[in-house]
Chains A and B, each alone.
Chain A
Amino acid sequence: MEIPNVADKWSGTVNEITLGATKDKGGTRTKTITIGGAKSIPFMDFEGNPGQKPVVAMDVYDVPPEDWPETLTKPFADVLNDPAQWAKKCVEQYGADLICLKLEGIHPDKGNKTAEETVKTVKSILAAVGVPLIIWGCEHDEKDNEVMPKISQAARGECCLMGVVTQDNYKTLTATCLADGHALITLAPVDINIAKQVNILVSEMDFPLNRIVMFQSTGALGYGLEYTYSIQERERLAALTGDKMMSMPVICDVGHEAWRTKESKSDDMEVPQWGARDERGPMWEAITAVGLLQSGVDIIRMSHPKAVATVKKCIERLY
C-alpha cells in the first residue's frame, strides 16, 4: 500500500553557533563545538537537516559541592577540590563535549569568592582542557555583575558561552561578552514570552543573534519536566516556522536539577522500595535528559558519568 508523505516543510532554521576558538581564531582551544542548525523536528531527518548532534557539557564547580549525595561525589572524590583536575577528568575519562564551570562559590552566601580567585580558576581550567567552556554565574545579580566581566576579559578570544542574563539584569554581561567575543545565555524561567523579550533586549545592544543560547530553566523528571518540555517544543516549532527571535539553540540544566530530587538523592535505607541508589540516581538524571532531548535541546548540562554515557549513546543511536 502506498503511504502518503508526512515530511513537514519548515522555513526556519535554528541558529548555528561554534563555541570555543582555536589558535588561528584567537583562542587556545584544541577543539571547538558547533551546535544548532536544525531544519527539522528533533531526530526527524527525513524532513530536513536535523542540525548538529546535541552535546553534553559536564558540570564542574569552583567550590566542592555541599549537598551532593555520595553516589555523585564518588566518581569525582579525588578532584572535587581542584576544578582544573575535575574538568580534565570529565573530558578525558567521561567524554564531556564541553565543561560548564558553575561559579557557586562567588555567591555572597556560599563563599563570596573574589573575582581574582575566580579568574585563576578559569585560567587553570582553560590550561587543563582543550574543549570549549561554559561559565555560569551564581545568579546573584550584583555579584555576577562584579565578577563575570573580569572573567570575560581574562578569557577574551576563547569564545566561551557565558551566562546567564535575564530581562532584569542583562546589560553588564551582554556588553562584556560582546567586547570579548563570547556567546551568551539568555534566561527566562518557564516563560516563552519573556524568553523572546530577553532576546530582543540583548539584540538591541547590538549583540548578534547567532551568538545567543536560550535557557528556560529546567524541570527535573517528576518535578515539572513537562513545563520545560512544552516550552522548548514550542520554541523549536517557532524557530522552524521562521521566528528569528526564537531561533536560538537551547541549553538545559539537567544535572543540578535531577540531583536535587528525592528520587536520586535518598539513601537506600530511607526508600528501600525504590531500589539501589547508585543505579537510581544516574537513571533519574539520564531519563530527565533523554526526555528533554525530544523537545529540542542542543546542550545538556550533566553530572554523573553513568548518566552522561547513557545519554551520549542514546543520542548516537537516535541521530
Chain B
Amino acid sequence: MALTGLDIYKLLPKTNCKKCGRPTCLAFAMQLAQKKANLSDCPDVSEEAKKVLGAAAAPPIKLVTVGAGARQVQVGEENVLFRHEEKFYHPTGVAVTIPDDLSEDAFNDRLKKVNSLKLTRVGTEIEIDLIAVMNKSNNAEKFAEAAKKVSAGSHLNMILSSASVDNMKAALQNCAEKRPLLHGASASNCEAMAALAQEKKCPMTVTAQTLEELADLAERAKKAGVEEIVLDVGGNNPKEVLQKLTKIRRLALKKNFRTLGFPMITFVCDEDPFQEIALASTYLLKYAGIVAVNACEPWAIMPLLTARTNIFTDPQKPIQVEPRLYAVGDVKDDSPILFTTNFSLTYYTVEGEVESSRVPAYILAVDTGGTSVLTAYSGDKLNDKVVAKAMTDAQVDTKVKHKKMIIPGLVAVMSGKLQETLGWEILVGPREASGLPSYLKTVWKA
C-alpha cells in the first residue's frame, strides 16, 4: 500500500532546511509520494525513515528474471487486479514441458517441435518463452543429459523441474549460466534447494498446497538468501488453483503482504489438450506469471499466446495496424478500394467483412493515430488532406485504374471536400462494417 504525502512527512526531519531543493519538508513529502523526488535528496533523513520509505517504495510483487541475455523472461511487478485500472505489465511466460525419460529420438523430435513454436498471426510473430525439463526419470544422469541437450539445442529459457536436490545439482553443471528457474523446492528440501539456487544465482520456485505453507516456504527460501522466488500453488483442482492465484495477487496488492509478494507459476497437465489450454488460458488471464503446458501443437499454443497478447495490451493506448494499403483476396486493377482508419479493431472488423464478401478489394488503412473513424474525424485526424497523403504514400493510382473511393458511411459529410481534393469519385459506403458484404456485392458491382 502506497504511503500518502502526510505519512511520509511525519518521517522527515521537518526542519524546512531547503537542502533538498524544495521550499518545505511537506512539499518534498508530496513529491516523494508522487514519485517525483528521491529520498536521497534529503541529507538529514533518519535511518528509520529510510527503512520505512524504502520498503514502501519496493513493488508489491517482486520482479523475477528467468534466463539471461536478450531473451530473458521477466515476470511479476504488477500493480493492478483488473487491466482497465491501469494495465498488466509483464506478459506471462509460456513454457512447454519436455520429460527426460523419452527415447533419444522422441526427445530430439519434441525439442525440435518446441523450438519451432513461433507463429505469425496478423503480421506479428508470437512465441513461447521457456522449455521446462522434467525429471520424470528421477535419475540424475538422465536429467543432466536432458538439461545439457536443451541448453545446447534451444534458444528458449529453461525451467528445471526435479524434487531431488542432487539431480538438480547434476543438471545445473551443464546449464547454470542460462539462469534456469529451479522448480522442485517443497517443505522437505527447501533449504537445500535454496542453497543451490543461491550458489548458482538462479531463481527458484516453492511449492505448497496451502497459502499458509506457501508463505512459510517463501520465508524459508528468503532466509536462505534467495531473492527471486516464484510461487507454485500446486494441486490439480482447477477451482482451487484459480482461487489461490487470485488470493495471492490480492494479498500482495491490497494487503501489502510481502511474504507472498512474488509472481506465480502453474503447471497445467491434462491429457486432453483442449482442457489443458482452457485451464492454462484461464490461469494466464487471472494472474499466473508463468504457465507450463504439455501441449506443443501450434493449434493449441497459438490461442494461448494470443490470449496473452490480448490481455497484456495497454488499455489506455489504442492499438494500431501499420498504415498502408492492404489487399484482401485476389485483387485486380478494377477491384474496389475503400479506406478506414488504422485503429486495429476498426481495421480488422472491416477486413473481416471484406473477406467474407468474397469480393477482392483494397483497404487503405489511413494513419489516424490508432483512433476509430468518428473519433478521428471529430479530432481532425481524418480529413481530406490526411486521406490524400495516405493515397499518395500507398501509390494507390498505380494499383487501380478506376478513380472511385469508397468511404465509411459515418463520415459521409466528408464526401464533397474529398472529391474536390482528390479528384476522385466518392462513394459513401455503409455506416457499419457489417453492411460491407452486401454493399460490395450489390452497389459496387452495379
The reply to whether B246 and A275 form a contact with Cβ atoms under 8 Å apart is no
Q: Which of A190, A222, A286 is the one whose CB lies under 8 Å from B121?
A: A222
Give the nearest-CB partner of A289 in chain B. Answer: B278
Q: Is the CB of A44 within 8 A of B84?
A: no
Contacts of B242 in A (CB 8 A): 43, 318
A284 at the binding interface (Cβ < 8 Å): yes
A-B contact count (CB 8 A): 160
Is the Cβ of B274 less than 8 Å from the Cβ of A318? no
B153: Cβ under 8 A from any A Cβ:
no
- The docked-state distance in angstroms from the alpha carbon of A294 to that of B278 is 11
* Inter-subunit contact A263/B215 (CB<8 Å): no
**How far in angstroms is the closest Cβ of chain A from B299?**
3
Is B277 touching A287 in the complex (CB atoms < 8 A)? yes
Residues B298 and A273 in contact, CB atoms below 8 Å apart: yes
Give residues of chain A (260-319) contacting chain B, Cβ–Cβ below 8 Å. 260-263, 273-276, 279-280, 282-284, 286-287, 290-291, 293-294, 306, 309-311, 313-314, 317-319
**Contact across chains for B212 and A1 when beta carbons are under 8 A apart:** yes
Q: In the complex, what distance in Å separates the CA atom of A291 from the CA atom of B257? A: 28
Q: Which residues of A contact B259 (CB under 8 A)?
A: 1
List of B residues within 8 angstroms of A224 by Cβ:
344-345, 348-349
Among B171-195, those with CB < 8 Å from A are: none
Instruction: Assess the B246–A287 pair: CB atoms within 8 A.
Output: no
Chain B interface residue count: which class?
35 or more
Alpha-carbon distance A6/B245, docked complex (angstroms): 12
Name A's interface SS: helix
| Contact residues in B for A311 (Cβ distance below 8 Å) | 278
Q: A2–B216 Cα gap in the complex (Å)?
A: 9
User: Is A226 within 8 A of B82, CB to CB?
Assistant: no
A156 within 8 A of B: no
**How many residues does chain A have at the interface if contact means C-beta atoms less than 8 Å apart?**
55
A2 to nearest B CB, angstroms? 7
Contact A2 B243 (CB under 8 A): no
Residue of A nearest to B283 (CB): A294
Residues on the B chain within 8 Å of A318, using CB: 238-239, 242, 282
Question: How far is it, in angstroms, between the C-alpha of A293 and the C-alpha of B255 when the chains are bound?
Answer: 26
Q: Tell me if B303 counts as interface (CB < 8 A to partner A).
A: yes
**Interface check A245, CB cutoff 8 A:** no
Distance, CA A276 to CA B246, complexed state (A): 34
State whether B246 touches A283 (Cβ < 8 A). no
- Name the residue of chain B whose CB is nearest to the CB of A314: B278
Interface pick from B100-108, B157-165, B310-318:
B310-318
State whether B281 touches A290 (Cβ < 8 A): yes
Knowing A287-B277, A306-B274, A317-B239 are in contact, say whether A234-B299 is a contact too (CB < 8 A). no
- Whether B438 is near chain A, meaning CB under 8 Å from some CB there, is yes
Cα of A188 to Cα of B445 in the assembled complex, Å: 32
A4 touching B257 by the CB < 8 A rule? yes
List B299-354 residues whose CB lies under 8 Å from chain A: 299-300, 302-304, 306-307, 309-311, 313, 315, 344-345, 348-349, 352
Which residues of A sit under 8 angstroms from B304, Cβ to Cβ? 287
Give per-residue flags for A224-256: 1 if the beta carbon is below 8 A from chain B beta carbons, else 0: 111101100110010000000000000000000
Q: Which of B238, B275, B299, B307 has the most CB of A within 10 A?
A: B299
Residues in A202-231 with C-beta less than 8 Å from chain B: 219, 221-227, 229-230
Least distance between A319 CB and chain B CB atoms (Å): 7
Contact A222 B212 (CB under 8 A): no
* CB atoms of A230 and B239 under 8 A apart: no
Q: Which 8 A-B pairs have the closest CB atoms?
A: A275-B299, A280-B299, A287-B303, A109-B438, A6-B250, A275-B298, A1-B215, A310-B274
8 A-B pairs (CB sep. < 8 Å): A1-B259, A3-B257, A224-B344, A263-B302, A273-B298, A275-B297, A275-B300, A280-B298
A residues engaging B (CB < 8 A)? 1-4, 6, 8, 41, 43-44, 46, 67, 109, 139, 190, 219, 221-227, 229-230, 233-234, 237, 260-263, 273-276, 279-280, 282-284, 286-287, 290-291, 293-294, 306, 309-311, 313-314, 317-319
- Other than A8-B250, A230-B82, A294-B286, give 17 A-B pairs with Cβ distance below 8 A: A2-B212, A6-B250, A6-B255, A221-B306, A222-B306, A222-B310, A223-B345, A226-B83, A226-B310, A227-B345, A230-B315, A280-B299, A283-B273, A283-B303, A287-B281, A294-B282, A318-B282
